[in-house]
Structure 1
Amino acid sequence: MTAPVADTDAGTGPDADARTGAGDHSRPPAVHRVSVWRIYRFELVKLMAQWRVRLLVLACWLAPGLFVTGVSAQSTLPSDTLFGRWTHATGWAGPLVILGFAGTWALPLLTSLVAGDVFAAEDRLGTWRHLLVAVRSPRRLFAAKSLAGLSVVVLLVAGLACSSVAGGLVSVGNRALVGLDGHVLSPRDAAVRVLLAWVCALAPTLALAAIGLLGSVAFGRSPTGLLLPALVALAMQVAQMLPLPVAVRLALPGYAFIAWNGLFTDPGQLGPLLIASLVALVWAVLATALAHLLFTRRDFTNPAYDGAGRRAVTIGLLPLAALTALTVALVGAATPATGSGISQAKIEKSLATAFGQLYRLQTGQLNRPAVTVAQLRTTAACVKSDGRGAQEGAGNDWRCVVTWHLPGAAVAGTAVYQLDVTSDGRFVADGDGPKEVNGYFLVRTSYGDAPNPLWQFDGIVDLLGTH
């Protein structure tokens, strides 16, 4: 494979003839300027020619579909994963299970292997001088290589989404999906929201890819640049597990890997999703700009170049740290929520809403008289740590009693749930009786045994809600 031919600055006109002492017949032909599009195609072919990249593309376009198909054929479900307990009920649950896994592990690793090696590969091979002789423009070369790397990353994300959707629809079918507040999404509505969730995951993926470009430029042939996106993603995951204020949590670009959960409530909790996506895109733009600045200032004549050293800290790390501080201040000033954003009132409201919707679903399974959410008048009373300490924040020590009313019944029904609330507002409600409501995993219906929607279910608290 040959690199694109560079443009030259050969002189023209009578003055040039006078300088060279030759006429028009001896003037070399003018060579056109090499466009970014031509360099981009060249760099894209180089990337796709690598066996590692080809293997990643093949895995992303095949493995998720096979995994979803395999899980759908099993008797046990990945109930510890969001939407995992619905993988037997609808084909739209599988893509969301894959998205949860991809945001935690797959996408950070993919961006490391692709974007984190775009520039470092040239340092290892010692081919910078050849490229610059051919292109003669570091800026165009940077743009083309960055676009090629980001194109491959987008191709990998598209493979994960398309493969998981295909696997779910083929193995289970195009059926309704139960949202995180218990309401039932039609197959069409579920398809739209699943697609939006994957599109929203592109924002933090691009942020990690830009960090990979920055590490690839800053650290040269050092493996640190290759690992930088994965390390940053791991640090953000650890931060999300800590009891951080809402403003700090939303100001981290990795929160967009979680915030898509708000799409599956009615009405949707779009505030955290929009803020997290915007923060991730700002990170992507700034990290790419810093990588461009380092790239245009580097010394390409030194074959022993091995990173920008101290400049990587001053130009790369400090601006990103300043951006984090600025976004924390802006999000804190713009959002009404304070502290963890998880309060007793919010948990009680979310649990009561989800229970009421799921009770209607169970009523349909058991062929009982239909009832509306308004008729049920569901309420919840929750305490944390048996009432000791502050009644807010994450933890697995929330205990709730749900109360509802059936038309014509003199006595209200009650059910007990143990809640495990995570720092991002998601909770798992585990039924603790009575057995007629939430005591068994399966319920006996007219068409056979079916999963009991009230035995264990997921819910979500609106972190930015005021009550």
Structure 2
Amino acid sequence: MTTTTQSSSTPGTSTPGTSTHTPAPRTVTPEAPGTAGLGSTLRFELLKLLTSWRTRGLLLICLAVPGLFIAAVSTQSTLPSDTVFGRWMLASGWADSLVVLAFSCTWVLPLLTAVIAGDVFSVEDRLGTWRHLMMAVRSPRRIFATKVIASVVVIVLLVACIAASSLAGGLLAVGNRPMVGLDGQTIGAGHAAALVGIAWAYAAVAALGFAGVGLFGSIAMGRNPMGLLLPALLAFLLDLCQMLPLPVPVRMALPSQPFVAWRGLFSATPQIGPLLTGLVVSLTWAVLATAMAWLLFRRRDFTDLVYDGSIRRCLLAGVLPLALLVGLTAGVLAGTGQTGSGITRPKVETAVSTTFGHLYRLQTAQLNRPDVTEAQMAPSAACDKGGSLVTDEGPGTDWRCVVSWHLPGAKAVGRAIYQVDVMADGRIVADGDGPTDVNGYFVVKAPYGTAPNPLWQVDSLIDLTSHK
């Protein structure tokens, strides 16, 4: 009987007379059991945000309120003429959407970033779920990235809902008509649609700077509600600063400037400088604030169930770097030669005369008079601020302009007087002060009935960064 014995060898050894090769074992590093991947974590964060009663309420408000507001205004005889494009709300549906955009940039968008980005981390502190989340994902970097991405997606979705509601409300209530720009020029319906879409997209990017501040506050303050209010408080303070006669470099360095820079799209010559500067400032704020939020997040003690943040840490890690960023940006812009408020008499005179020339042609068409070109009219303006003892520069309500123009075949020179309010952000509102047949009444008697008088109030916009 023959017994066959199977020899076994230890890895790394060989039986004499035989040639064997044992490959080196591959190192496999599978994820720990129960660890969630990036895709599933992101889906979970989006689902958690979108199923929240707060987010659902905001979605409903953003979809319904802008359209209802426009529908209500379209039935009124009084328009919000103190808002940019407000006096044109009954003339074009595209102007209606821009009125909603102007209001949203002042209050709505900062509040949305506060509610979404300002709460995306602190909600875990309030619910005490950090330990469960860390055990499920086991990657602080992945948790941070998914929360940032999810909050940005929801904020952009909310802005898109406001834009869609305002556009639908304006087009249904007023119609797809040409609109009047900020230099009095007529913008065709197709061109207006493109510009309005770009303006809303620009405002959504501008909101990202405040979203970064919200993310930082949500991590730095923990359960403290101050983290939730941080973007809204910042927007309120910057809104007050916008009313002051700040030097142009400081104004352009503020993250709130992009919320008004979109208006430069609707000038006869688009104001590209402020638009690009605002875009860079917004993205820089978003990146810096998010980076500071990550530095705080990676040092968090997630075993502390009563973490309420630190005011001192928030000031040192958040306020100070962002203030230094404003100073650095202002210094860079000052190096381009931009000083003062950016509001000078030549700029005011050019803006008022150019806008008057465009709107005079619009009034001529309303009254069914022979058309006249701006070149034939040769409009000019002589403006003065506060009398001979005051320097003719800077914002104020004490500007006064006399506009002169010529008509073909007429020897007399036409003149119109305007009391002008030049705001610190470059917007001009000129109220007609005679003669009555030109700018003295809100409406004019056209052959088809009464119509709004384009020359009763003149809106324009100064490019603060221009050296002319």
Category of TM-score, reference length = shorter chain: over 0.9
Correspondence for 1:187? 189
Correspondence for 2:40? 38
Return the alpha-carbon distance in structure 1 between the equivalents of residues 288 and 137 of structure 2. 25
Structure 1 residues 281-317: Cα deviation after superposition (integer angstroms, max 9, x where no partner): 1000110111011001111112222214533322222
Correspondence for 2:165? 163
Task: Give 5+ residue unaligned stretches, structure 2.
Answer: 1-10, 12-29
Q: Shift of residue 200 of structure 1?
A: 0.9
Q: Shift of residue 30 of structure 1?
A: 7.0
Return the alpha-carbon distance in structure 2 between the equivalents of residues 36 and 232 of structure 1. 32
Q: Shift of residue 75 of structure 1?
A: 1.3
Correspondence for 2:27? none
Of 211, 223, 226, which residue of structure 1 is paired with 2:225? Answer: 223
Return the alpha-carbon distance in structure 2 between the equivalents of residues 29 and 205 of structure 1. 36
Correspondence for 2:436? 435
TM-score normalised per structure 1: 0.92
Question: Secondary structure of the residue that 1:211 maps to in structure 2?
Answer: helix
1:380 maps onto 2:404 in alignment: no
Structure 1 residues 203-255: Cα deviation after superposition (integer angstroms, max 9, x where no partner): 22111111001000000000100000000111111111111000000000110
1:337 maps onto 2:334 in alignment: no
Of 261, 264, 268, which residue of structure 2 is paired with 1:262? Answer: 264
Question: Secondary structure of the residue that 1:449 maps to in structure 2?
Answer: strand
- Please say if residues 56 and 156 of structure 1, whose CA atoms lie closer than 8 Å, have aligned partners that are also in contact: yes
Correspondence for 1:445? 446
Q: Give the 5 Å matches for 1:374-413.
A: 374-413=375-414
Of 109, 125, 132, which residue of structure 1 is paired with 2:127? Answer: 125
Return the alpha-carbon distance in structure 1 between the equivalents of residues 311 and 461 of structure 2. 44
Structure 1 residues 182-205: Cα deviation after superposition (integer angstroms, max 9, x where no partner): 110000111111111111111221
Correspondence for 2:356? 355
Q: Shift of residue 35 of structure 1?
A: 2.3
Against the structure 1 CA distance between its residues 138 and 83, is the aligned structure 2 distance closer, same or farther, given a 3 Å change threshold?
Answer: same
Q: Give the 5 Å matches for 1:135-214.
A: 135-214=137-216
Structure 1 residue ranges, 4+ long, deviating more than 6 angstroms after superposition: none
- Please say if residues 245 and 340 of structure 1, whose CA atoms lie closer than 8 Å, have aligned partners that are also in contact: yes
Return the alpha-carbon distance in structure 1 between the equivalents of residues 324 and 71 of structure 2. 45
Q: What count of residue pairs does the alignment treat as equivalent?
A: 440
Q: Give the 5 Å matches for 1:251-290.
A: 251-290=253-292
Higher helix share: 1
Against the structure 1 CA distance between its residues 294 and 359, is the aligned structure 2 distance closer, same or farther, given a 3 Å change threshold?
Answer: same
2:39 partner amino acid: W
- Please say if residues 394 and 421 of structure 1, whose CA atoms lie closer than 8 Å, have aligned partners that are also in contact: yes
Task: Give 5+ residue unaligned stretches, structure 1.
Answer: 1-13, 15-27
Q: Shift of residue 338 of structure 1?
A: 1.8
- Please say if residues 35 and 136 of structure 2, whose CA atoms lie closer than 8 Å, have aligned partners that are also in contact: no
Q: Shift of residue 272 of structure 1?
A: 0.7
- Please say if residues 37 and 137 of structure 2, whose CA atoms lie closer than 8 Å, have aligned partners that are also in contact: no
CA RMSD after TM alignment: 1.4
Return the alpha-carbon distance in structure 2 between the equivalents of residues 131 and 398 of structure 1. 61
Question: Secondary structure of the residue that 1:351 maps to in structure 2?
Answer: helix
Bigger shift: 145-154 or 168-177? Answer: 145-154
Of 301, 311, 314, which residue of structure 2 is paired with 1:312? Answer: 314
Q: Shift of residue 432 of structure 1?
A: 0.2
Q: Give the 5 Å matches for 1:99-118.
A: 99-118=101-120
Question: Secondary structure of the residue that 2:412 maps to in structure 1?
Answer: coil
Return the alpha-carbon distance in structure 2 between the equivalents of residues 356 and 309 of structure 1. 55
Return the alpha-carbon distance in structure 1 between the equivalents of residues 47 and 148 of structure 2. 13
TM-score normalised per structure 2: 0.92
- Please say if residues 218 and 312 of structure 1, whose CA atoms lie closer than 8 Å, have aligned partners that are also in contact: yes
Return the alpha-carbon distance in structure 2 between the equivalents of residues 224 and 114 of structure 1. 14
- Please say if residues 402 and 415 of structure 2, whose CA atoms lie closer than 8 Å, have aligned partners that are also in contact: yes
Return the alpha-carbon distance in structure 2 between the equivalents of residues 436 and 462 of structure 1. 31
Structure 1 residues 346-374: Cα deviation after superposition (integer angstroms, max 9, x where no partner): 00001000000000111111111110000
Return the alpha-carbon distance in structure 1 between the equivalents of residues 457 and 388 of structure 2. 23
